[in-house]
Copies of this chain bind each other. A is one copy, B any other.
Amino acid sequence: MRFIMTATTAKPHPSTNRKFVLAARPVGMPKESDFDLVSEPLPPLQDGQILLRTQYLSVDPYMRGRMTGVRTYADPVDIGQLMVGGTVGEVIESRNPDFRPGQIVVGFWGWQEFAISDGDGLRLLDPKLAPVSTALGVLGMPGMTAYFGLLEICQPRSGETVVVSGAAGAVGSLVGQIARIKDCEVVGVTGSDEKVAWLIGELGFSAAFNYKTATDYGARLQDLCPNGVDCYFDNVGGALSDAMLSVINTKARIAICGQISQYNLAKPEPGPRVFRYLLTKSARAEGFLVYNFAQRFSEGIAQMAKWMKEGKIKYRETIVEGFESAPRALIGILSGHNTGKMLVKFN
Contacts and interface: CB of A to CB of B under 8 A. Distances in A.
Interface stretch (A25-33, A277-285, A311-319): A277-285
Given A73-B250, A250-B73, A285-B285, A273 B262 contact: yes
A286 B287 contact: no
A277 B275 CA distance: 13
B292 A276 contact: no
Nearest to A251: B292
Contacts of A242: 273
B250 A279 contact: no
A235 to B, nearest CB: 10
B256 A278 contact: yes
A287 B292 contact: no
A286 B288 CA distance: 14
Q: Oligomeric state, in number of copies?
A: 2
A289 interface: yes
Contacts of A287: 275, 277-284
Given A271-B271, A275-B256, A282 B237 contact: no
A229 to B, nearest CB: 15
A43 interface: no
Given A73-B281, A73-B282, A278-B286, 7 more contacts: A72-B280, A241-B275, A259-B276, A262-B276, A271-B272, A274-B274, A274-B285
21 contacts: A72-B280, A73-B280, A237-B273, A256-B275, A256-B278, A258-B279, A259-B273, A262-B276, A268-B276, A269-B273, A270-B271, A273-B274, A274-B285, A275-B285, A279-B287, A279-B288, A282-B286, A283-B286, A283-B287, A284-B284, A285-B285
